[in-house]
Structure 1
């Protein structure tokens, strides 16, 4: 039976039968789900988020079995809003990444974002950048400086997002609409521009909602708690 070794992080785990867990691992090779038999030694305590692991997995189907799981470093320590942000990224990956598809660039961006969160950098630009990279990796990204027809975004014009096509110019301001100047600021990652971060949050939420389906993200509720 095929055995592979991955430098990976745990995205999510949940109980499975009496003494095991189902674990979603993220590595440069993509998202992999495996059964971890937690009764074997202290393997269960090793499988914690945001800590680098070497995971040896066995199996040919989509569901693997963990043969060996060892820490390869101390990882990052996240608390408060940074922790919620990390859990949010993990949930996005579990919900949106297809199984058994390689994403080395996204994996590297994930690692860099975790380190930046641990360093206390501003959360919103980091999350918007990660969301955009994820959409791009999955083939769902769209132009920010041009509309769906290839016309340059005009700073004083208004636009709506058509998730399968891109940005469409509209004549009047209405709910869910974006000002061209904000879109151009996003294209340049100019987060100092007025309203750019707020508009980017709304835009990414609309773009992601089209692919998440009707089930809400549990991690978003953490940000609302006092």
Structure 2
């Protein structure tokens, strides 16, 4: 069955056999699909140039079963040209999405969620270039914005996958209190706790609930919590994009 043209982003590609490549595409209103594309002949150079990450495509595919076949595609909008740290973060969004979004499982909103955060990430780089006139280093404010985008994407994506958590209510349905402390229990939620050293403050949880990461503590605890929640979905295989952030 042929599809109508839909917007899509390339998350991952690898050679398959002969002139074919295996693609993982995040498709508007659908979710993640695996599909084969044939790249050959006079159009191969242009096709390869178009099938790049961070480019919104219009695609048409066919196939009744899990593996689809890419019949046609064209560029919907120019590619987002990330640089430096922003590029590493964009690769992280792609790899994380590819790894934890199930293939062939209907998820209507993940495309818009991905596109929204990808554009936000690109916007930070653009604004920094304008303000700094080409300076290569990021200000603390830029770093805070980047972390906020990544954490918001992680937590919202987990919610779309059905494994998200509530940050403004505890495990018993009571509103989180700013002056109280809570321990997180998997598959239960945040439980009130007297162990301040091993708990999240209510202030931090409410900040995360509103996507605010101005304090160093909220950024550190949000990052630790997101990694804890993502670990079962990622398994033992580490994310390659995280290695790009390691000091060399």
TM-score normalised to the size of structure 1? Answer: 0.90
| Structural mapping, 1:19-30, within 5 Å | 19-28=19-28, 29-30=30-31
The answer to whether 1:191 aligns with 2:213 is yes
Deviations 1:95-152 (A, max 9, x none): 1112233434332222222222222262101111111110111111111122212233
| Structural mapping, 1:31-180, within 5 Å | 31-40=32-41, 41-42=43-44, 43-120=47-124, 122-173=145-196, 177-180=199-202
Name the CA distance, whole Å, in 2 between partners of 1:45 and 1:193.
41
Whether the 8 Å contact between 1:36 and 1:44 is mirrored in structure 2 is no
Whether the 8 Å contact between 2:113 and 2:157 is mirrored in structure 1 is no
Match of 1:217 among 208, 219, 239: 239
Cα drift, residue 225 of structure 1: 4.2
Cα drift, residue 187 of structure 1: 1.6
Q: Which consecutive residues of structure 1, in runs of 5 or more, have no partner in the other structure? A: none
Match of 2:230 among 208, 217, 225: 208
Question: Match for residue 3 of structure 1?
Answer: 2
The CA RMSD measured in Å over matched residues stands at 2.0
Q: Which runs of 4+ in 1 moved over 4 A?
A: none
Name the CA distance, whole Å, in 2 between partners of 1:153 and 1:105.
28
- Please state which structure has a larger fraction of its residues in helix: 2
TM-score normalised to the size of structure 2? Answer: 0.82
Number of residue pairs the alignment of both structures matches: 224
- Please state which structure has a larger fraction of its residues in strand: 1
Cα drift, residue 16 of structure 1: 0.8
